[in-house]
A and B are shown apart, each in its own frame.
Chain A
Amino acid sequence: MAERWTPRQALHQAIGVLIVAALIAVAIAYIKAQPQGRGSLKAEVSALRSQAAEGAVVLERGDKLDRRFLRAHLGQLAHNVTRTRKRIADLHLEPAVQGSQRNALDLASRVESSIGGVVDDHARATLRRSKSELERLEQDLER
């Protein structure tokens, strides 16, 4: 069977692909090395605010919901909060936003312990407060 392609063509294409891949890798590395702006932090803070708000809703209704569901759902929610907290901590931000980042991390820890811990009035109050503060932070970062 006659060949439609030559190994040399394959080599040229391989080189082309590698060059493009290298360029993309360099571009990604460059972008990652840049400090990010408030937009990235706001994205995570919004997620955190939503998680805190949901925690508040669930804890308010705690006694009316099925126990097993309650425990399992709070577990999944707490897991998501942990993920968000880690993502916030891993963000490499501009100096101007770093204060907000510390604030967000602090709030994240509080939300994490309220949702992951005992369902009591202290947890409910903490969540409500954290939610309000997160909303304020979210609005600040919007500007």
Chain B
Amino acid sequence: MRKSLDLGREVLDHEIVDVDGVSCGMVDDLEFEDAPGGAPTVANLIVGPIAWSARTPALAAWLVRRVVRTPVVRVPWSAVAHVGETIQLRVTAQSLGLGKADRRVERWLSRIPGA
């Protein structure tokens, strides 16, 4: 078990990979909660354009908010199996609601021969 984890360097902006090895987003933001005993802990990983754009200049964030309608997805810390080069999850992307846009496009692409 690791002693410490540098959230800024090793978690934020890293790729999230689900239990099947499929990419399902980047860690666009982190959500903390107060734990008993004082120090805040990571409650959720936040995934979605509204989250990462919020860390860019306000104008960009505002534009993205106008264009993107899908809300961010919260990935509970308990779903994380391992933090390495990528953030490995214990569960599938589907079960967390990640990668919905891809599934939509893929349903449509599947109709074309050779997909």
Contact = CB atoms under 8 A, between A and B. Distances in A.
Contact between chain A and chain B defined by CB under 8 Å: yes
Interface of A: 1, 3-7, 9-10, 12-14, 17
Q: Which of B46, B51, B61 has the most CB of A within 10 A?
A: B61
B61 A1 contact: no
A10 B46 CA distance: 22
Interface string B37-68: 00000000010000100110111011000000
B31 interface: yes
A7 B29 contact: no
Contact of B31 (A1, A7, A9, A13): A1
**Secondary structure of the A side of the interface?**
helix
Contacts of B46: 1
A85 to B, nearest CB: 43
Central interface residue in B31, B54, B59, B72, by most chain A CB within 10 Å: B59
A14 B29 CA distance: 25
Given A1-B51, A1-B72, A6 B29 contact: no
Contact of A17 (B59, B61, B72): B59
A13 B54 contact: no
